[in-house]
Amino acid sequence: MAVSIAPNSARVTNITRPTPNRPRIDPTATQAIFDSVSMSADGEVTLNGNAGDPTVGWQIGWVQAQWIETNWYYYRGQFNNHGSLIIQRARPPARLRQSCRDTSGPVADIFTILAAPEFVSNPAGAFPLRVQVSTSDPPGDSCDLTLINTLTGQTNFLREAQLEFHFCTVLTVRDPAGNFHHQASFYWNLHWQARFSPTSFPNPAANQWIITPIVGGNGSAASQAIPGLPTDRRFVNVLTSVQAQSCNDIFQAATAASAAPGSINRRESRIWDNFDVRR
């Protein structure tokens, strides 16, 4: 008989939600850092076949989609007439869409990582052949601590930031014909929100910032494993279809576009303004 996937053999276990670390200032006092302890999970699936049946071309690994991102940074000057500004990295036109395929390499790789322990190609062993893979991901971001307000010519200091990343990770099998057979999935996310206050001007050192996490704005979650084919319309179309950009590509382009003076995603004011973060 030909090699096949054993029915109901897929398992995703040991799902561990990520842990967002407390936001911090880097030693050079130029960046605010948002990093995390990794999400992790284990997966397995069994292939059936007869002795001597070739497993060349069979691949087991993970496909990951991101489907929500919030990513804004609010700055204001030392004094009211020094102005304020907001950077919106996750809104159009800097970021044209939310859902994307999250790969560590080119988006055409489809699998998150083409290396062990996340990926197995041409598995070897006796049938029934149990194949095991694991996955991990520590999302993070950073931003400048200061920016020049082009309306006032004054330095504006990071005052508040909010970041939210939501993902779905899928245990999947690709057969030698290139067809994907999604086996199980789980959702996970992590959030940061904090206020920043320099205690010295005009060039505060790394230890001259007070960082106050906002209650309810920091945390993470992970679902249980969901068996079978993902059907969530918010991202299912990006899992294995042809894509021009990965999540990393989209993120990098949005970061660059939103930072440029004059960008629609960078709004400035001559005073300490209350910007609508929904825009």
Rounded to two decimals, what is the model's pTM? 0.95
- Rounded alpha-carbon distances, angstroms, from residue 75 to 7, 57, 145, 162: 55, 52, 8, 12
Among 101, 102, 138, 131, CA closest to 116: 131
Pairing of strands 129-137, 39-48: antiparallel
Could you tell me if residue 65 is left (phi over 0), alpha (psi between -120 and 50 degrees) or otherwise beta?
beta
Per-residue pLDDT of the chain (279 residues; tens, 9 = 90+): 599 999 999 999 999 999 999 999 999 999 999 999 999 999 999 999 999 999 999 999 999 999 999 999 999 999 999 999 999 999 999 999 999 999 999 999 999 999 999 999 999 999 999 999 999 999 999 999 999 999 999 999 999 999 999 999 999 999 999 999 999 999 999 999 999 999 999 999 999 999 999 999 999 999 999 999 999 999 999 999 999 999 999 999 999 999 999 999 999 999 999 999 988
How many helices and strands (H and E) does the chain possess? 1, 20
Where are the chain's structural domains? 4-18+30-269
Classify residue 179 by burial, with Cβ atoms within 10 Å: 0-12, 13-18, 19+: exposed
**Pairing of the two strands 155-174 and 146-148:** antiparallel
Point out which residues pair with 25 in neighbouring strands: 32
